Every structure is written in C-alpha cells, then in structure tokens.
Amino acid sequence: MQTNILRHPNVINLKSKLSNQAIRLLDSHVSLAVTGLSGSGKTAFITSLVNQLLEIKSNDSLPFFTVANQGRVIGVRRDIQPDVRCNRFAYEEAMQGLSKEKPSWPQSTRGISQVRLLIKYQKNTGLSQFLSETRVLTLDITDYPGEWLLDLPLLNMSYSHWVSACAEEQQESARAALLTEFNAYLASVDFNAEADEMLLMKGAKLYAEYLRLCMELGFKLIQPGRFVLPGEWQDAPVLHFFPVSDTVIAKQNLRLNRPQPGSNLELLIQRFESYKKEVVGPFYQQYFKRFDRQIILVDCLSALNTGPHSFADLQNALNWIMKSFDYGKNSLIGRLFKPKIDRLVFAASKADHVTPDQQQNLIKLLNDMVHSIQQTVQFEQVKTESTAIASIRASISGKANVNGESVGVLKGFDSAKGQSVTLYPGEVPSLVASYSQQSTHQFAFPYFSPPNLGGRKTLPHIRVDQVLEFLLSDKLS
C-alpha cells in the first residue's frame, strides 16, 4: 500500500519540486527557456545543445566553452524526466533522423517537452580546486510551441482590450485582405441575440482559418496561438471565440464591458475569459515561473525572404513575447521561491545560410531589432548577449571566382532540387531602417537539408559553444 502511494503521480511531482528547491538553494540548477516563434529552430537547437554536452568528452568543437577546454567535465548524462506531466524531449528520435544516409531535420515543436541533464564537473575556484571537489549541475531545458507564447500577455487583457489590439493589427493591408469571409460572417450575426453555440463555433473556425492564412503569408504575430496549434484543446468550446470588428460594435451598439445577459456577445466574452483561465493561465503557472536563463532564437533570414510585412511583424511579436517573462537579478531566496531570468541570449538562427563575412551584419541587424528590449532587461541587471548561430551547420563556406573576382559562397544540399548547390546568398542589411527603405526586397536566402554525419556522433555547429559559455560558465566555475 505504501509503495503504491509513493508511486502516485502527485507524490512523484511533490518529491521532484522539493528536490528542485534543494538544488536551487545550492545554486546548482539552471532552468533554461528556449524561446522562439514557429520555424526559428528551437528543436534543432535543443537537439544540438544536448548532443554537444552528452558527447563533451570526445567533442573537439567547443573551443569557447571554458569548462570543456580545461578538462573539468567528468561526464554528462540524461536524467529521468523531471515533470511526469510533460512529454520527454525526443532527442533520440531527432538523432536517428539526422544520422540517416538521407538525414532529416527534427520534427518541429507540437507540444511541451523537457529534458534534464546532469553535468558532473570539478570546481575551479577556491579551496575546492585543490581538493578535487566534484559538483553536479542540473540543467533543465523546456521546449514549447512558439505560437503558444503569444497568448501569455492575454492574461492581463480584457476582451475589450484584446479586440482593440486585434483591430490595430488588422489595419495592415495584407491582413485586411484576408478578412473578407470573416467580416461577412460578423455582419450576418446579431450579437445581442440569444447565445448560439453553433453559430459562434462557425465564427471561431473562420477566424482560425484567417490566422492560418496570415502564417502562410509570413506574419509572425499569430494569436490566439491555440487556434493554429490547439494541441489537446482541438475542437473544445474554450476555443470558440473571436474578436468583433469596430464596424459591428458601432452598428449594433455593443457594450463590450457590459454585454446583454445570455447574448452571443456575453458568451464570446465568457469563452475568452475561460481561455485565459483554463488554457493560458495553467500553461504560464506550470512552466513560466521557474526559468532563470533564456535564449531567444530569431529567424531574421526567413523574414527577410518573405518581405517587409513579415519583418515588421517579427519585431512586434518579439516585443509581445517579452511581456511573458520575469527578468531581474536573482538573490538566494528569490532563486528558491521566485526565480528570475538573469542571463539572456538573443540568437539569430540559421547563420550557416549566409557567408561568414555576412554573419556580423546578421548580428547587427538582430541587435537593431531587439534594441529596446535589451535596454529594458539590462535596466533590470540582466546580462545579455547577441550572436548568430547555426545549431546544426548544414553548409560549407568557400570561395568562388566570379568575373575574375573571388567571392564567398556556400555549398549545401537542396532537398527541393535533389542536388548539391553552390551559391552566394547575398548581403544581409545591418540596420532595420536600411532594409525598410530599400525600394526592392529580393532576398533569397537558401533552405539547406541537414548535413550527412557520416558516422560522426557530434553535430557540426556555429557558436553553440559560445552560447553554452554565456549561459552556464558561472555555474561551472
């Protein structure tokens, strides 16, 4: 009987929480948030980070990771899943796909997953270095869909506030052009009439289709996120809500803060509030109140390829996302009861899709994009760094002679063409303004297939070791 009680999921979760609090008190724990919108490369990054650490004893591609260079890492292993309510991060499956003769990229994030690594190392400071004292750093990494991040600011918004935010977004001409069918539906509904669940479900499906079309056009601020990636809430009534337009509000004299009792509008507002309470709130409480380190992956190149509307929306989405996290300097007690993010990396992903001479421009462009965000978090004494990375390097850089001039080129495998390609992707603008002011936007940064590992155990990368150094070095000293 006692054995059965100890194996109950609630008891296991309690033991896990107590264990986590103990290692937090000893400052031997890092909870890393890997943040980014859809397509930014979160799953590939986590796969690479786990791979670099698990293979650290035979890994010669981490020159800037001090603890590895000094030979102080005794070993790294994956620990038992820390949260039994969460999926286990599919590292093994990702490596199987990458190790095939025709390798495939890891599956994109579809839900919440975690991985815990235990890093056993020898200390290098104080008396411990002479006593060969060993320590273990617990590293928890959480992966979650970028679409769901955009819902977190809703927790501080009323339905009226959200409707206003949606109306502002929909003024963008490309978005407005996609609203024809949804607007026709809104005009046909009497929102003061008695609530009709089926009628509202139809509107929610039309609004979800509008959001999916926005994604296809390259828009990044797609919200509510569960409308395009519902997960376990597929077809649930809690997703059957949508914003009403200013035109309908004025024509029907709708009072968003005091709707007609029992009306369609009242049910819409109730569903919006239920979404915050039942879906967004628990997601935030369970996963977003314990992070102390963060990397934000930004796919600048895809936005450049798509056009100015996508690039501008990416900036808006990043600002929206940052409202969801707690930033500040951690104290001993604060780390135990209310940890804050005290180190933050902004990383432009897919740096292997531009030539090495353009990577600095990519970093400058990223810095310009997140300038106001950096200022805000630095005021809270958060250490930040900006870089450009390739979690899994898929190209080889070289030189080619073009019209008698030597230029930098990339060589990689293009799965769409089914062949190796050698090309010069072009220059990356170093400032947002210089990109926005161009009369033409003809970027075509390539899409490469994963590299053939040829039996190698360690994934090739660009600057993942520098990310590890920034995020973990102080904990491994």
Q: In sequence order, which ranges of 135-238 are alpha helices (DSSP H)?
A: 146-149, 159-169, 173-176, 180-188, 197-216
With tokens 């009242």, the residue in question is: 266
Q: How confident is the model at residue 1 (pLDDT cuts 50, 70, 90)?
A: very low
Q: For residue 271, is pLDDT > 90?
A: yes
Percent of the chain topping pLDDT 90: 61
| 151 close to 228: Cβ distance less than 8 angstroms | no
What integer pLDDT is reported at residue 129 of this predicted model?
Answer: 52
Query: How many alpha carbons lie under 13 Å from residue 29 in its C-beta half-sphere?
Result: 23
Is the bond leading into 224 cis (omega within 30 degrees of zero)?
yes
Residue 190 has pLDDT above 80, yes or no: yes
Q: Which of 168-172, 290-294, 338-342, 351-355 has the lowest mean pLDDT?
A: 338-342
Query: Tokens standing for 398?
Result: 């070289």
For a pLDDT cut of 70, what percent of the chain falls above it?
A: 89
Q: Which two tokens stand for residue 150?
A: 């955009």
pLDDT at 250 over 80: yes
State the pLDDT confidence band at 105, using cuts at 50, 70 and 90: very high
Mean pLDDT score across all residues of the chain: 88
Q: What is the pLDDT of residues 288-331, one digit of tens each?
A: 778 889 999 999 998 888 888 888 899 889 888 887 788 887 65
pLDDT confidence of residue 22: 47
Coil, helix or strand for 85? coil
Distances (CA, A) of 100 to 97, 439, 456: 6, 44, 11
Residue 443: φ, ψ to 5°: -85, 145
162 token code pair: 């959200």
| Angle of helix 42-54 versus helix 91-98 axis, rounded to 10 | 90
pLDDT tens-digit series, residues 226-243: 999 998 899 999 999 999
Confidence of residue 424 (pLDDT cuts 50, 70, 90): confident
Least confident of 195-204, 353-362, 403-412: 403-412
Residue that wins the pLDDT comparison between 325 and 178: 178
Q: Is the pLDDT confidence value at 146 over 90?
A: no
Rank 81-85, 228-232, 344-348, 395-399 by mean pLDDT and report only the highest: 344-348
Q: How confident is the model at residue 133 (pLDDT cuts 50, 70, 90)?
A: confident
pLDDT tens for each residue of 364-388: 999 999 998 899 899 989 999 999 9
DSSP state at residue 78: E
Q: What does the alpha-carbon distance between residue 161 and residue 273 come to, in Å, rounded to a whole number?
A: 12
Burial 252-275 (b: 16+ CB within 10 A, else e): bebebeebeeebbbbbbbebbebb
